[in-house]
Amino acid sequence: MYQYNNDNCNVLRLGLPKGRINEAVMKLLADAGIRVTPSARGYRPAVSLHACEAKILKPQNIVEMLALGSRDVGFAGADWVQELGVNVVELLDTGLDPVDVVAAAPRALLVDGELPGKRLVIASEYQRLTRDWIERRGLDAEFVRSYGATEVFPPEDADVIVDNTATGSTLRANDLVIVDTVISSSTRLYSSPAAMSDAGKRSRIADLTLLVESVLEARKRVMIEVNASSDDLEAVVRLLPCMREATVAPLFGDGGYAVRAAVLRDQLPELIPMVKTAGGSDVVVTSPSQIVP
């Protein structure tokens, strides 16, 4: 494949996705303190990172441009990386916009919930993924490439479709039943191999990854603050499943101790009653914006 010559450029080239995943990525960057401001050039917003220029592209184009080397780093779905089969470096799984790429068919076509043994026509935007799935399943099938609105193909123009779905609502609305999950996908941060071979860009990409990861870590956790007497301190600290060790500081006037720890958000329903039972008081829970381990 032709490689874009980017050797003498110090600007970090960022690919931002358009479409469904754009809003979640923009919020992620904003929470990391990175401002992305629309400009008169439309698809070229201003970014508050030093020497960084961004372009808004379709996720599949971001993947292609990373492989080509004309983008250094960008956000895209793992489904398109697998579909295009290109060489890019996965830096971080954001877990945002989780989808499944599934095979679905009209209920009337199925035999005991399974695909029939006849020759099938299968439509999808995902050519590589679908052909691989057909081979794995040992199906007698003909592939038809779709260009959007794949769910409308059955039953007249295709027997089966392979498409991505987050909730399955579009499939159900078209009376389609999921018969298999091809892959699971989410939005991830990728870089180009060319950028990772450049020490300067590799360092800047590592910084960007750290900022994004700090937001994702903060979203999973809350900061819990609780007061405890000298007698209850050890029992309260022992209950707090913090990242390393809880922070303990004496209260004014020797009135006990203040204990502070970052805990997993989903542990709160069990944790708060246990802390109270152990003698903790004045419990305060706050949400951090970023956590850097």
- As annotated, the residues of the chain forming the CATH 3.30.70.120 domain(s) are 220-286
Q: Please, which pLDDT band fits residue 245 given cuts at 50, 70 and 90?
A: confident
10-39 tens-digit pLDDT: 899 999 999 888 999 999 999 999 999 987
d(CA 196, CA 113): 47
CATH number for region 99-185:
3.40.190.10
Q: Do residues 120 and 222 make contact, with C-beta atoms less than 8 angstroms apart?
A: no
Share of the chain above pLDDT 70, in %: 96
As a whole number, mean pLDDT of residues 251-273 equals: 92
Residues in contact with 156: Cβ distance below 8 Å, sequence separation at least 6, in sequence order: none
Q: Please, which pLDDT band fits residue 244 given cuts at 50, 70 and 90?
A: confident
CATH number for region 12-94+189-218:
3.40.190.10
Output the six-digit token pair for 216: 């994702």
Nearest to 262 by CA among 227, 293, 228, 229: 293
- C-alpha to C-alpha distances, 222 to 31, 216, 266, nearest whole angstrom: 15, 12, 9
- As annotated, the residues of the chain forming the CATH 3.40.190.10 domain(s) are 12-94+189-218, 99-185
Answer whether residue 258 shows pLDDT above 90. Answer: yes
Q: What is the pTM of this model?
A: 0.87
Pick the CATH number of 220-286 from 3.30.70.120, 3.40.50.20, 3.40.50.300, 1.10.340.30: 3.30.70.120
Answer whether residue 2 shows pLDDT above 70. Answer: no
- In the prediction, which pLDDT does 37 show? 92
